Amino acid sequence: MSTNVNRPGNLSQQNFQHLMAQAPVAISILRGPQFIIELANSQILELWGKNENVIGLQLTAGLPEIKDQPFVALLQGVYNTGVTHYGHEARVTLVRDNVPGQYYFNFVYQAITDTDGSIGGIMVVATEVTEQVLSRRKLEDAEERLRLAAEATGLGTFDLDLQKGVIIHSPRLAEIFGRRSTDNISHAELRQIVLPVDLHIVIGAFDRALQTGIYFYEARVIWLDATIHWIRTTGKIIYSDNGAPLRMLGTIQDISEQKRILDDLQKSEENLRLATQAAEVGTFDLDLLNQSMVWDRRCRELFGMEDFDGPVSYDNQFLFGLHPDDKEKTDQAVNRAYNRQLSNGEYDVEYRTIGIDDKKLRWVRAKGKVSFNDEDIPQRFIGAVLDITENKLNEIRKNDFIAIASHELKTPLTSLKAYIQLLHVNARKSGDSFLLNALQKSENQINKMTKLIYGFLDLSKLESGKLRLERHEFDLNALIEEVTAENRPIAQSHTITFSGGKPIIITADREKIGQVINNFISNAVKYSPKKTDIKVSAQCLTGQVKVSIHDNGIGIKLKDQQNIFQRFYRVEDESTKGFSGFGIGLYLSAEIIELHHGKIGVDSAEGQGAEFYFLLPA
């Protein structure tokens, strides 16, 4: 039997086999319909992961793992038809070193004809391409991932051959330039889509990229429908070994929306700037994380340094610019705003500044808000400052007027009271009951007027910071007894009761505390119907004393309760029709209690009477 695989006629069978064994490719000859492994050179044995023991065996016996793979059928096809089969990157499962694995091969199955012309076997020539296939797959995977990432972020990608000027781009890139995703756009066409006035930006960036290797620009493109869109391009140049630019790889993003938002933001900032300018409001912005502070021009003006453009800081400009008497209170207000539990970040304070450069005194109202992180740590403090100098000066003038007027009224009133008391003595002697009654009423009115005038005097003292306490030790019960006794003749319409007890000794301003109790009692009389009871009580609690005055009058709505301690606040509704007043009594009382570091309050409901109280440290 002789084999004919284009064997040159002068080559013996032995020599032929020797040649094949030496060939640099993997070769095997499978003989007969059983595919007996007649010849397998060392290369193919290595690819199969087998040794020479397989020679002489049936293929499926030597390589049992290929039984369930398509190769036996392919071999049969070639054996039956004589048609050569070429396999390209075919995946084969082979057991190498007892471990099954996937490998890839390019191979040829070629029929071997015997001398009689019949097919006697098949020659297998194979080269392994596993590594190429796997690395190509990896590359494809990486490209796919990149493509997906680019798609997910809406990025278009491009690869420009700098030598030939040919560009390959992703479908998304075409869309960003206003074309169909299936369109292929050349580099020159892309340039034509750029808005002509922005073309210099693109060309400039391109020239720079050739120098620096980095490509970046933001420019506008004009779509076929004439709409204009913003794009941002970033790229990198790839160089050859000798430094010649080969390719430019990059991404393009549609940033129209970002630009629009930025534009809107700039517009609204501009509007805010114009509005604050018109209202002459200054603004400040304190970044608490890196302790940087920004003051606008108006804010600088209010600190008397309008020509100073340099950086400002909390200590060097803010605290330094404050009037010495307002430093502590203002610093406290800021620290309070930093405490979320105390203030919820709200800041509202009035202070004076002494111009850092111009030395002018200004009154300022500042309002701000602190923002916190989840751990309640303050992050940022922003706010506005307003010049209230004019209002303040008017207020001061008004206070001065009140102070002078009430002071001037005091003297004639005192002598009026003295005369009336004199007349009282005479009337009592004469027993003229009409006169007695009339004089008693006059005296009551004078007392009322005196209280009012003292109230105004105290108010102006308070406003100018001149209201001072004169603390002494005294018995609180004795004071209450005294004040109730004083009120009884004036308020005969009501029954005022006080069941004092053991002395309660406290250190406080006796006269001022008396004034507060007096104010509570007069209000109780004023705001409750005739013939009702007013109960005064005092009790010792742990570390403090409490005085309360309970009446059965018109009561106070919850919403008004928060305001009645404010200056000039009066409840104005059906229930208070016909009651006159100035709304300063409770304000003064609250300030007096505050000066004593005490607490003032009210428990009431509309139509249910009221209980006013204050607590003082014992």
Nearest approach in angstroms of CB 615 to ligand ADP is: 18
Q: Is 213 or 583 the residue whose CB approaches ligand ADP more closely?
A: 583
How far lies 276's CA from each of 292, 296, 416, in Å? 22, 10, 55
Q: Interface residues for ligand ADP in 564-593 (CB under 6 A)?
A: 564, 570-571, 576, 581-587
Q: Pick the closest to residue 520 from 592, 472, 576, 468 (CA basis).
A: 592
Q: Pick the closest to residue 401 from 343, 478, 463, 325 (CA basis).
A: 463
Does position 487 bind ligand ADP by CB under 6 A? no
Does position 556 bind ligand ADP by CB under 6 A? yes
Site string for ligand ADP, 317-346 (x = CB under 6 A): ------------------------------
Does position 527 bind ligand ADP by CB under 6 A? yes
Does position 517 bind ligand ADP by CB under 6 A? no
Q: Is 56 or 529 the residue whose CB approaches ligand ADP more closely?
A: 529
Q: Is 235 or 585 the residue whose CB approaches ligand ADP more closely?
A: 585
Does position 553 bind ligand ADP by CB under 6 A? yes
Nearest approach in angstroms of CB 526 to ligand ADP is: 6
**Sheet of 245-254: strands edge to edge?**
166-169, 156-161, 245-254, 228-239, 214-222
Q: Is 375 or 574 the residue whose CB approaches ligand ADP more closely?
A: 574
Q: Is 159 or 533 the residue whose CB approaches ligand ADP more closely?
A: 533
Contact 491, 518 (CB under 8 A): no
Q: Interface residues for ligand ADP in 50-79 (CB under 6 A)?
A: none
Q: Tell which one of 47, 523, 538, 545 touches ligand ADP (CB under 6 A).
A: 523
Contacts 24+ apart (CB under 8 A), 286-293: 286/314, 286/380, 286/381, 286/382, 287/379, 287/380, 288/338, 288/370, 288/378, 288/379, 288/380, 288/381, 289/379, 289/380, 293/317, 293/318
Does position 281 bind ligand ADP by CB under 6 A? no
User: How crowded is residue 132: how many other Cβ atoms within 10 Å of its Cβ?
Assistant: 12
Integer Cα distance of 288 and 290 in angstroms? 6
Residue number with the smallest Cβ distance to ligand ADP: 581
Does position 459 bind ligand ADP by CB under 6 A? no
Nearest approach in angstroms of CB 549 to ligand ADP is: 8
Contact 480, 517 (CB under 8 A): yes
Integer Cα distance of 482 and 500 in angstroms? 11
Q: Is 202 or 588 the residue whose CB approaches ligand ADP more closely?
A: 588
Does position 525 bind ligand ADP by CB under 6 A? no
Q: Angle at Cα 386 formed by Cα 384 and Cα 388, nearest 5°? A: 155
DSSP 517-559: HHHHHHHHHHTS-TT-EEEEEEEEETTEEEEEEEE-SS---HH
Contact 126, 107 (CB under 8 A): yes
Q: Is 364 or 525 the residue whose CB approaches ligand ADP more closely?
A: 525
Say how many residues touch ligand ADP, by CB under 6 A. Answer: 20
Does position 544 bind ligand ADP by CB under 6 A? no
Integer Cα distance of 154 and 251 in angstroms? 10
Nearest approach in angstroms of CB 432 to ligand ADP is: 35
Q: Is 223 or 569 the residue whose CB approaches ligand ADP more closely?
A: 569
Q: Is 123 or 590 the residue whose CB approaches ligand ADP more closely?
A: 590
* Choices 15-23, 236-244, 284-292, 563-571 (CB under 6 A): range interacting with ligand ADP: 563-571
Contact 519, 589 (CB under 8 A): yes
Contact residues toward ligand ADP (CB under 6 A) are 523-524, 527, 551, 553-556, 564, 570-571, 576, 581-587, 610
